[in-house]
Amino acid sequence: MISATKASFQTEVLDFKGKVLVDFWAQWCGPCQMLSPIIDQIAAEKPDVKIVKVNVDEEIDLATAYNISSIPAIMIFDNGKPVKTIIGFRQKQEYLQILV
């Protein structure tokens, strides 16, 4: 899993050829902490999907750029383009469905 910053987001997400799951989270966010093991499972089950985490407290500009006002927020990028978003904690199956 990669932690992205404003400086690395272009390279890690926007320039990546393929699917990227971006997890916008914060340390103090309880639902984010509940989601973390699910993201780990998805990373293990879907090696073809790049997993990137963005700490919204440290990367306010990125959160603002992608209109993240609630967390956890999962955005799926496909070849650098945002294609799907889930806001809030959901079951693992819902995250897997948006990766199809």
Q: Which of 76, 82, 60 is nearest to 5 (CA)?
A: 60
Q: For all residues of the chain together, what is the average pLDDT?
A: 95
Query: Each residue of 45-66: pLDDT tens digit?
Result: 999 999 999 999 999 999 999 9
User: What average pLDDT does the segment 30-57 reach?
Assistant: 96
pTM score of the predicted model: 0.94
Cα dihedral 10, 13, 18, 22, rounded to 10, equals: -160
26: three-class secondary structure by DSSP: coil
Catalytic residue set: 29, 32
Q: Are 39 and 90 in contact (CB under 8 A)?
A: no
Candidates 3.40.190.170, 3.40.30.10, 1.10.10.10, 3.40.50.2300; CATH matching 2-98: 3.40.30.10
For residue range 74-86, what is the model confidence (pLDDT) as tens digits? 999 999 999 999 9
pLDDT value for 74 = 97
